[in-house]
Structure formats: C-alpha cells, structure tokens
C-alpha cells in the first residue's frame, strides 16, 4: 500500500506537471496518438465495412483479415515497422502500427452493424422506392450506429494500451514514464504512469459507453417490444341473447 501512496504522491506532485516532460503534456500526446490513429483507421475500415455489410459480399475475407490482425503482437509490430522505416521515421512506423491494430474492431463494428438489421426493414425501404444509397444512409447507417460505436470503443481501448509502448521507441506519451522509471528503479513513477494509463482508458471507455447509448435509435427498445408481445390478447365479450 505504501507503494501506491508514493505513486499517487508522484502523480499529484506539482513539479511533475511542469516542464517539457510534464504529466499533462504526456496525456495530451497520448490522446493525440490515439485519436489520430483511430481517425485514420476509421477512414479505412468504415467504408469497407459498410460496403461488406450492405452488399453481403466479402464477409469471410473481412473476418479472416480481422482475426489475423488481432493476433499481431503489438510491441513486435511497432519495432518491426520502426526498423523497416528507419529511426528517422519512428513516428510514422508507430502510427502505422496503431492504425493496423485499430482497423479490425472498427471493421467488425461497421459491417456487423449493418448485417444485424432486420432484412424486412431493408426490404420495406426498397419497396417504397428508396435507392440503394438512400437505404444505406437513411436506414442502415443510423440503425447500425450502436455496433459501430462499439467497434470504435474497442479500437480506442486497444490503441490507448498500445500507445503506452511508444515510450520504448522514444515517442513520449504516458508510457515514457514507465520506460524512464525502469532503469532508474523509480517504482513510484512506474506505477504512477501505469495508473494514469488505466484511468485514461477507463475515462475513454465511459465516454464511448455514453455515446453508444446516445446513438441507439429510440424505436429499438426491445424490452418494450417483448412486453407488448407477451401480453395476452384482450378477451372479446360476445353479446348474450
């Protein structure tokens, strides 16, 4: 418990919130790496996922690619790309690794959100004369948003955890405090950096949880639908003679 006290003391020390290597600057840099990587991964994965979900083609390939990408070791991928691109392009190599690791969850959320929609809803939209583009943008995308946000949520948590490894290639972020503290045997700094990463992950998870609830279509309250369906039909009184 004393070590935890020292770790929180390190976090709350005003001296660690000042200067070029401050905790505040490391948090902002950590968020910058995370959200830029998620934006790039989303720009790649969401259109592909919507195409697969709308047409129903290529799902097996997408599942195979997503599964293979999830199995990639984060640290090994970062080091590989940094060594391949050279030390002068360390940031580029790290960003590519973050994007690769974020794509599977976003891709799965995009196409599964569309495929989970009741086909009768899509058929009804076609029956009233809506074009394929209108069906995608006005029916499928709004109804599939909750699962897409769930995919984004998973990707953000994956990347937040992986950005901590950026400290090993001298890119800063909250992982820098852990990497710096290991050779110095500064365990309060190591634990403090780990606590900050965990708290940041929990906060982002809570934000995306609220966002998932906010984008859920109001008409898709399955509990109300089930309760109505389970009610017995009202008895019809027959007139007596």
* CA distance readout (Å), 62 to 97, 112, 213, 238: 19, 11, 27, 59
Name the pLDDT band for 226 (thresholds 50, 70, 90): very low
Give the single-character DSSP code of 18.
S
What pTM did the predictor assign? Answer: 0.82
Residue 224 reports pLDDT greater than 60:
no
> pLDDT tens across 4-37, in order?
888 888 899 888 898 778 899 999 999 999 999 9
Angle of CA points 105, 109, 115, to nearest 5°: 145
User: 240 in helix, strand or coil?
Assistant: coil
Q: Are 148 and 109 in contact (CB under 8 A)?
A: yes
Residue 237 reports pLDDT greater than 70:
no
> pLDDT tens across 47-94, in order?
999 998 888 787 788 778 777 777 777 778 888 888 888 777 888 888
Residue 218 reports pLDDT greater than 80:
no
CATH superfamily of 22-226: MetI-like (1.10.3720.10)
> pLDDT tens across 109-162, in order?
998 888 888 888 888 888 888 888 888 888 888 888 999 999 999 999 999 988
């Amino acid at each position: 418990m004393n070590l935890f006290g020292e770790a929180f003391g390190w976090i709350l020390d005003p001296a660690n919130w000042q200067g070029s290597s401050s905790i505040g600057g490391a948090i902002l840099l950590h968020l910058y790496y995370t959200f830029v990587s998620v934006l790039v991964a989303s720009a790649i994965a969401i259109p592909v996922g919507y195409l697969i979900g709308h047409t129903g083609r290529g799902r097996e390939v997408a599942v195979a690619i997503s599964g293979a990408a999830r199995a990639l070791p984060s640290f090994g991928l970062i080091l590989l790309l940094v060594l391949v691109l050279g030390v002068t392009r360390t940031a580029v190599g790290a960003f590519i690794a973050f994007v690769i690791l974020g794509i599977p969850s976003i891709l799965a959320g995009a196409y599964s959100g569309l495929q989970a929609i009741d086909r009768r809803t899509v058929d009804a939209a076609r029956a009233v004369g809506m074009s394929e583009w209108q069906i995608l943008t006005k029916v499928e995308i709004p109804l599939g948003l909750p699962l897409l946000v769930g995919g984004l949520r998973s990707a953000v948590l994956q990347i937040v955890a992986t950005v901590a490894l950026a400290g090993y290639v001298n890119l800063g972020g909250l992982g820098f405090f852990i990497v710096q503290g290991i050779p110095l045997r500064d365990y309060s700094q190591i634990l403090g950096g780990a606590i900050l990463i965990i708290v940041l992950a929990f906060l982002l998870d809570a934000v995306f949880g609220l966002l998932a609830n906010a984008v859920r279509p109001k008409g898709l309250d399955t509990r109300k639908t089930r309760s109505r369906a389970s009610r017995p039909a009202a008895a019809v009184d027959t007139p007596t003679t």
